[in-house]
Amino acid sequence: MEEKGEQMLSIVVGGFYGDEGKGKIVGYLALEDSPDYVVRAGGGPQAGHTVAEGKKVTQIPSGFINRNPRLLIARGTVIDPRIVLKEIESHGVENRIGIDYGCTIIEPKDLEQALELVKRIGSVGTGTGPARVNRIWRRAKIAKDIKSLRPYLTDVAEEVNEAIKSGKRILVEGVQGYGLSLLNHQFYPYVTSQDTTASQFAADVGIGPKAIDEIIVVYKAYVSRVGKGPMSFEWTEGKMKQSGIKEKGTVSGRPRRLGDFDKALARESLIGNTGTQAAITCIDRLFKGNSGIREFDKLTKEAQDFIEAINSFFKNESSYFNGITLVSTGPNPEDTIDLR
């Protein structure tokens, strides 16, 4: 993001199958860059973000970790009132959060219908997909219909566009990852219930493409995926044990499948998002001896070479790309190398 005081709108998106560490990156940017607004765009309670050790959210923006920004849940987000109200209370953001009037509501019947998706494609089962189906059929309830949400209701598109006009700094938090897009034929039907690119998240918020200044695509140093579906370069059980890496989904709690960094998918997601920056996470897990490092030249040579190779590859593939700007070396926001 630019110098404090200059208007800036950035969107953070996932480059693989979700699980890339977007919550940690959004948390870091919220603390380091002090945006005026942090906006959650898209997804539902199936899209969990871990902001720091012991701090996870599924509905409110990961930027809650900074106590100053206005927090917004955009119209393209599907919400479960029970979950969103619990997160609002538990993180003490009652006085600074807004929920768009038009957010689609998950009802008990949606949770029942989600069970079929759990069995067939490995869905997380939070009811997000069935709720979207009801929205398409024009029979879903939306946030303005729910009494318990009324204290928080706002027009997010209006707020954000007014903030842009006023020169405010805005951070938009996308969800899941490029390889889970409903519109991507390569992975269908093992996908989520919406598109997962920056274009979609802009529409979810209610802004046009010219309002976007930076698009930050987040990649893990290796690939992980929860549930069924294709995944190139997947590790064998033996390699997973050798790596010493074990992960579970933030929401589902299911073991994540792991694999090598997928350059072809990374290239496609960088181009498909017109990414201007990239963040690389979990360097400390893939390359031992890098935990908590905050300066690039203090990383091990193997880790430096890995990052530099990806950076060169991306620069050759996209004219929009300006470089890898953030490297995560641990679970907490301060465990970050900032190359901006």
Q: 19 catalytic, yes or no?
A: yes
- Please report where in the chains the tokens 């479960």 appear, as a residue: 80
Give dist(CA 336, CA 16) in Å, integer. Answer: 20
Structure tokens given for 181: 């897009």
49 is catalytic: yes
Q: Which two tokens stand for residue 214?
A: 């930076």
Taken in order 259, 263, 264, 265, is the CA torsion positive or negative? positive
Which residues lie closer than 8 Å to 67 by C-beta, 6 or more apart? none
Phi and psi at residue 315, to the nearest 5°: -65, -30
Q: How many residues does the chain have?
A: 340
Instruction: Give which of 173, 166, 181 is closest to 205, Cα–Cα.
Output: 173
Report the alpha-carbon distance of residue 274 to residue 212 in Å, rounded: 11
Catalytic residue among 33, 36, 49, 145: 49
Strand-pairing partners, residue 223, are 259
Q: Which value, to the nearest 10 degrees, does the dihedral of the CA atoms of residues 59, 144, 12, 190 take?
A: 70
In DSSP terms, 255 is beta-bridged to: 248
Among the options 19, 33, 110, 195, which is catalytic? 19
DSSP string, 85-121: HHHHHHTT-TTTEEEETTPEEP-HHHHHHHHHHHHHH
Spatial separation of the C-alpha atoms in residues 167 and 160, rounded to whole Å = 11
Which helix (H) or strand (E) element contains residue 170?
strand 169-173
Give me the active site residues, please: 19, 49
